[in-house]
Amino acid sequence: MEYQEIMTVAEYLWTRCRLLGAPYNSRRLNALPGDFALPLLHGALAAGMDYVKCCNEQEAAAAASGDARWYHYGFVLVTYGVGMKNMIGYLSMDIAEKERTLYVSGAADLDEHGHRGVYNPGQIQLVHHYEQRLKLGEFSNQFKAIAQTGIPAAYICDPLQATEQIDYVLEGMEKFSCPGYLEVTRQATASLIRVPLEKVTSYQHYWHKPDTKNYIREFKEFFQEKIQETAEIINKSQRPIIIIGNAVRRYDLKKYVQIIAERTGAVITSTQLGIGIFSDNDPLYAGVYAGAMSYTEEIRQGVEESDCVLAIGISEREINSGRFTAKIDPKNLISLNPYSIHVKNWRLETSSFWEQTAMVPDTASRIEFFSFLEGLSQGNLARREKREFPTFADFLAKTYPVLDSSQYVEQPLTIDLMINLLNNHFIKPDMRLATDFGDCAMMATRLRKAQGISASSADGHMNTGFGFLFGAQPQKDEKPVRTLMIAGDGAINMNLGGFITMAEREIKGATIIILDDKCYKTLYLLDKEIQNPAVYNLAEIKYEYLTQVTGFGTSFRCKTGGEFREALEKALANPDTNTLIIAELDRNDCSPPLKNLACPVSLSSI
């Protein structure tokens, strides 16, 4: 190698991260320092990462996870033990949802583990934050635990291996679409190494997505007969209907769904986790099918009485089946997803259970699925007129008509009334919607889908308490995007520090709604057995003072529809500040989807 640079391992790591994230505008390092992490942080600043100082590790992980969703990559750095172990929940969420977040933890040096005890001279002294008395030479309990998850992970203690280990983890994140983990000892962090100039001036992926075109062509030929047979089944059917799931978003398959729907005249519905892929005013989209949790009886009947249900990209989660209430006859089902292809009585498993959940080269293992879908969309589907069916826009207009002020001004605030007022008077086409898990996520299924939704737990991991930064960071972009964030009071309590970080970062233009029902309502309504208030009750907190404490925007506490509408208007009119809206709700009031989840017997309650 002719040209080489000399830099520390930390500088190499963060220079590679900065270059990796550059095409996506991702250079934020969400971090909370500790002495094991400090040398890594200094290296990050030297390498040009933007430091976002978070209030706690959960929030840092949530912010990084949000970055991975909005900007392809997210980065988070914390100290050993107390730091990294505070982030395990978010790491699990990113594994479940295949987000490319790099988790970095500092670590003690190897020789720190070698000190003989003072009070027990026969033993080895424990370094702080290490909870386990380790055998000499065995320093890696945290690393081992995380590596067990199967994500690309490396423990860096030898500077000579550092560049390869770092490159392996960063490439692994891209290749497998998953988080990565690095643990770096203090000494290794600060060690000087020689690195090829090209590695620190540009990022060349050494893993290239396989050229799927060739594979797809081959597989399409292989499948030709089956594709033809499937097209004929659809052509012969009287009432075809499509249901789409979250994989349609993840693998960018909307175009195929659109072609198939336009050709066959089939109505498109989605699962709960597939919302937001088609916008609220798309004439093809009718709303959510999830058994008893479907939006309307028409959708439920449309699917369950259809003689041809085409299900695309749906993961098997109980939330997608409306808590096991969905009823689709396998004989009428054509189901295409990255894990298996099912056409009536014919079935092809395209990957094993472990491949579905663990790390598998993304595209290669799913060639069958892509080629089948592409073949079907280009195949001999008969052209038919669009079937008459109420669209999602019709559903919203009918369920949430514009109200006369006399119908809401004096009314106590309810979730349904909030949905109505947000849909009719607040959500604009260029807004982003970010929600937590709790009734806010259920409520979001009925909100107009501006720029698309990014809920934490998008693929059903359902991690409550994602933190404000998850949704707020896009407002720091050159072209800020206004975000509407909705979270329950339980979620806010989990991550209140995030509010302080937002203030410190001087984020502006956010509208944050706290559903103040003074309880873990989702749990309370779903729990049929215990119903002991001590389990669910939350303290009465005056969240409105948060804006005063932090000097961060304006807050409104709303008890009536009129107060809520007024607060929304103020939020819209003031993009240069933030608006915190505390919605006071009865603990028995909930969104229709949650009501159906709690009591999935009939749709009459909608």
State the residues that interact with ligand TPP by CB under 6 A: 89, 437-440, 462-465, 488-491, 515, 517, 519-523
Tell me the per-residue interface mask from 464 to 503 with Mg ion, x by CB under 5 A, - otherwise. Answer: ------------------------xxx-------------
Closest separation between CB of residue 414 and ligand TPP, Å?
A: 13
Least distance to Mg ion, CB of residue 518, Å: 7
Number of residues that bind Mg ion (CB under 5 A): 5
Nearer to ligand TPP, 93 or 359 (CB): 93
DSSP 457: T
Report the nearest approach of ligand TPP to the CB of residue 87 (Å). 12
DSSP 191-247: -EEEEEGGGGT----SS----HHHHHHHHHHHHHHHHHHHHHHHHH-SSEEEEE-HH
Q: Smaller CB distance to ligand TPP: residue 371 or 454?
A: 454
Q: Which does 154 bind (CB under 5 to 8 A by kind): ligand TPP, Mg ion, none?
A: none
Shortest reach from residue 346's CB to ligand TPP, in Å: 38
Is the Cβ of residue 193 or residue 494 nearer to ligand TPP in the bound state?
A: 494
H/E stretch holding 254 reads helix 254-264
CB 431, min distance to Mg ion, A: 24
Query: Smaller CB distance to ligand TPP: residue 22 or 526?
Result: 526
Closer residue to Mg ion (CB): 34 or 490:
490
Alpha-carbon span 58 to 547, nearest angstrom: 22
Nearest residue to ligand TPP, using CB?
488
Smallest distance, Å, CB 58 to ligand TPP? 9
CA-CA distance, 31 to 25, in Å (whole number)? 18
Which of 547, 556, 557, 485 is CA-nearest to residue 518? 557
What amino acid is encoded at 186 in this protein? R
- DSSP codes, 383-421: P-PPPP---HHHHHHHHSPPPPGGGTTTSBP-HHHHHHH
Pick 171 or 544: Cβ nearer Mg ion = 544
Helix (H), strand (E) at residue 167: helix 159-176
Question: Which strand ranges, in their side-by-side order, compose the sheet holding 153-156?
Answer: 50-53, 28-31, 74-78, 101-107, 180-185, 153-156
Rank residues 139 and 536 by Cβ distance to ligand TPP and give the closer one.
536
420/464 with CB nearer ligand TPP: 464
**Minimum CB distance to Mg ion, residue 517 (Å):** 4
Q: Is 492 helix (H, G, I), strand (E, B) or coil?
A: helix
3-state secondary structure of 555: strand
Q: Distance between CA 3 and CA 196 in Å, rounded?
A: 6
522 binds, among Mg ion, ligand TPP, none (CB under 5 to 8 A by kind): ligand TPP
Interaction between residue 517 and Mg ion (CB under 5 A):
yes
Whose Cβ is closer to ligand TPP: residue 379's or residue 438's?
Answer: 438
Please give the angle made by the CA atoms of 220, 353 and 378, to the nearest 5 degrees.
Answer: 20
521 part of the interface to Mg ion, by CB under 5 A: yes
Q: Which does 97 bind (CB under 5 to 8 A by kind): ligand TPP, Mg ion, none?
A: none
Task: Tell me the window of 370-378, 410-418, 428-436, 510-518 that interacts with Mg ion (CB under 5 A).
Answer: 510-518
Q: How far is the CB of 412 from Mg ion (least distance, A)?
A: 17
Distance separating alpha carbons of residues 277 and 452, to the nearest angstrom = 7
Q: Which 3 state secondary structure label does DSSP give 441? A: helix
Q: Which is nearer to Mg ion, 113 or 521 (CB)?
A: 521
Relative to beta strand 511-516, strand 180-185 is: unpaired
**Separation between Cα atoms, residue 70 and residue 25, nearest integer Å:** 10
CB of 514 to Mg ion, least distance (A): 9
Q: Contact between 436 and Mg ion (CB under 5 A)? A: no
589 near Mg ion, rule: CB under 5 A: no
Q: Which of ligand TPP, Mg ion, none has residue 462 at its interface (CB below 5 to 8 Å by kind)?
A: ligand TPP
User: Three-class SS string for 44-83?
Assistant: HHHCCCEEEECCCHHHHHHHHHHHHHHHCCEEEEECCCCC
- Minimum CB separation of residue 415 from ligand TPP in Å reads 9
Q: Which residue ranges make up the site for Mg ion (CB under 5 A)?
A: 488-490, 517, 521
